[in-house]
Amino acid sequence: MKLLNKSVGLLACIGIIAIGSAWVSARSQGFGPSAAGSLAELTAEVRQLRVVVQDAGRNQVQIQALNISLTAQHSRLSQVSARLDKADEELRVASAKTQDFSKTLSEAQAELARATTESDRRHLQDVVAEFKATVDRLGADENQIRTRQMELFNSFRAEEARWIELVSKLDEILKR
pLDDT at 40: 86
Q: Nearest CA to 14 among 2, 22, 3?
A: 22
Q: Nearest CA to 137 among 85, 89, 77, 94?
A: 94
Residues in the chain: 176
Per DSSP, 1 falls in state: -
pLDDT at 4: 40
pLDDT at 2: 45
pLDDT at 165: 94
| Alpha-carbon torsion (149, 154, 157, 162), positive or negative | negative
Q: What is the residue-level pLDDT of the chain in tens, covering all 176 positions?
A: 444 444 545 555 565 665 555 555 555 555 545 545 688 888 889 899 898 888 888 888 888 888 899 999 999 999 999 999 999 999 999 999 999 999 999 999 999 999 999 999 999 999 999 999 999 999 999 999 999 999 999 999 999 999 999 999 888 888 87
pLDDT at 54: 86
| Alpha-carbon torsion (23, 24, 27, 32), positive or negative | positive
What are the structural domains of the chain? 2-175 (1.20.1270)
pLDDT at 37: 64
pLDDT at 150: 97
pLDDT at 9: 53
User: Residue 30: which region, alpha, beta or left (left: phi > 0; alpha: psi -120 to 50)?
Assistant: left
Q: Over the stretch 52-65, which tens digit does the pLDDT of each residue have?
A: 888 888 888 888 88
